[in-house]
Amino acid sequence: MRKPMQPGRGGYVTNWGGNQSWRPSAFVRPSSEDDVAAQITKAAAGGGTVRAIGSAHSFTATAVTNGVQIELSNLDEVYEVDTTTKRVTVGAGMSILAFNELLAQHGLAMTNMGDIGYQSLAGAVSTGTHGTGAAYGGIATQIVGLRLIAADGSIHDVDESDPSLLNAARVSLGALGVITRVTIQCVDPFNLHAVETKHSLDDLLAGEWDEIAASTDHAEFFWMPGTRNALVKRNTRTQEPVRTSRIDHFTSRVLGENIGFGLVNRVGRRFPAAVPTIAKLVAGGSDDRDFVDRNDKVFMSPRYVKFVEMEYGLPVEDLCEAVGRINALCRELRKPITFPIEVRVAAADDIHLSTASGRDSGYVACHVYQGTSYDGYFQGVEAIMDDYAGRPHWGKVHFRTAAALRERYPKFDDFLAVRKRLDPEGVFANAYLDRVLGAGL
């Protein structure tokens, strides 16, 4: 079972990034779908509100509530594993990590995923969590069915027979109801051949990146703002056997990306004047790597260093220009940035509120070490993203409201119409939804 979320001292719930803390009126952990329905109808009958929570890995206030918080870690049953259709139905509270272990036992795999697997499946899809790959969509594109419990306690089994409802429900910010089970279209198992190399940022932006992204199954790059080199990760799907060293994995993913990195950030916060040197050390510290491992072990890494993140999706053809502008912005900031920026891509999809809805997308993710101020940095990046009709990740810090977002999502009003039908009284509302979807819309 996924480690359950717990309220802390005084009944306060805090998210992973530590930038959101709130006190629900009640915190409940149902053990069945009937129990979920009962909790919703009880709260609604008293005029209250309800918000589901997964692993609290969102940086926005999307799960925040002063009403009833429903925690779903008990809902992690395995309902069906069909190795013929490769469709698997599980409780929506299961973590991505646990789901991948289940698939490995049955000779199946997810076709793509993000950088970590601590999130619940429902939480991950609800905010449009994605990985990278020009021909691959986010996790929600793999959802072919889900069960939703609406504000009146009614059960809705949503699947491809009603594509419009499925495309509203697959990325729904918890606004349509509580998702209790998901059916995921899986694929045959595969390994990834991972090649990690250093490149000049200028060369990447001058055309090299477009070639790499188009010719690699799953490519991404990281660069430390203010430095000239980027680390490019190219992951190619393969049936080659595993060829990796656990020591190398530990040195790179645990020591390099976590322990060493956390240390330099702590030093940087204490001694800001040392930041440019530290940034160069971190940027130059990683060696080229070449290995093969099971796909989920390459896609996902542990994250021990806490940070706060903003991520924007934009039309893929604008990606390099926007990255160049962000790099220039970072050079002008009063305080240098000590966390790398991550650049990824994803295929267009037809999900109403997906950041890749209707357009092949590039993604730029900016981070700051936990406890560091980010307003000037993130607002500067956001202003650049406005020029490209950028769409903020629903689970990562941003400052935009419904007025701007409505223009950036062609199916925004279609989503609102479904919301009005399933939750006319706003039982699943919270302040974040009022801001990003519009209170009276």
Ligand X SMILES: Cc1cc2nc3c(=O)[nH]c(=O)nc-3n(C[C@H](O)[C@H](O)[C@H](O)COP(=O)(O)OP(=O)(O)OC[C@H]3O[C@@H](n4cnc5c(N)ncnc54)[C@H](O)[C@@H]3O)c2cc1C
- For residue 420, how many C-alpha atoms fall within 13 Å in the half-sphere facing its CB? 11
Nearer to ligand X, 67 or 225 (CB): 67
Binding ligand X (rule: CB under 6 A), the pick from 50, 52, 224, 337 is 52
Q: Which residue has the tokens 């790597």?
A: 289
> With binding defined as CB under 6 A, does residue 16 bind ligand X?
yes
- Determine whether 65 is exposed, middle or buried from the number of CB atoms within 10 Å of its CB (0-12, 13-18, 19+): buried
- Sketch the per residue contact string, 121 through 140, with ligand X: x for CB under 6 A, - otherwise: -xxx-xx-xx----------
Nearer to ligand X, 144 or 274 (CB): 144
> With binding defined as CB under 6 A, does residue 253 bind ligand X?
no
Nearer to ligand X, 179 or 292 (CB): 179
The interface region with ligand X, picked from 83-91, 119-127, 157-165, 270-278 by CB under 6 A, is 119-127
Distance CA 141, CA 349 (A): 7
Length of the chain: 441
What residues from 66 to 95 belong to the interface with ligand X (CB under 6 A)?
A: 72, 92
What residues pair up with 109 in beta bridges, in sequence order? 187
The interface region with ligand X, picked from 39-47, 110-118, 237-245, 315-323 by CB under 6 A, is 110-118
> With binding defined as CB under 6 A, does residue 62 bind ligand X?
yes
Instruction: Mark 206-230 as b/e (b = at least 16 C-beta within 10 Å).
Output: eebbbebbeebbbbbbbbbbbbebb
Distance CA 342, CA 194 (A): 17
Nearer to ligand X, 113 or 186 (CB): 113
Nearer to ligand X, 120 or 183 (CB): 120
What residues from 325 to 384 belong to the interface with ligand X (CB under 6 A)?
A: none
Q: DSSP assignment, residue 225?
A: T
3-state secondary structure of 388: coil
What residues from 160 to 189 belong to the interface with ligand X (CB under 6 A)?
A: 173-174, 178-179
How many helices (H) and strands (E) would you count in the chain? Answer: 15, 18
End-to-end CA distance of the chain: 38
Instruction: Please give the structure tokens belonging to residue 171.
Output: 């990325």
The interface region with ligand X, picked from 120-128, 201-209, 232-240, 380-388 by CB under 6 A, is 120-128
Residues forming contacts to ligand X in the complex (CB under 6 A) are 16-17, 51-58, 62-63, 72, 92, 114-116, 119-120, 122-124, 126-127, 129-130, 173-174, 178-179, 303, 393, 395
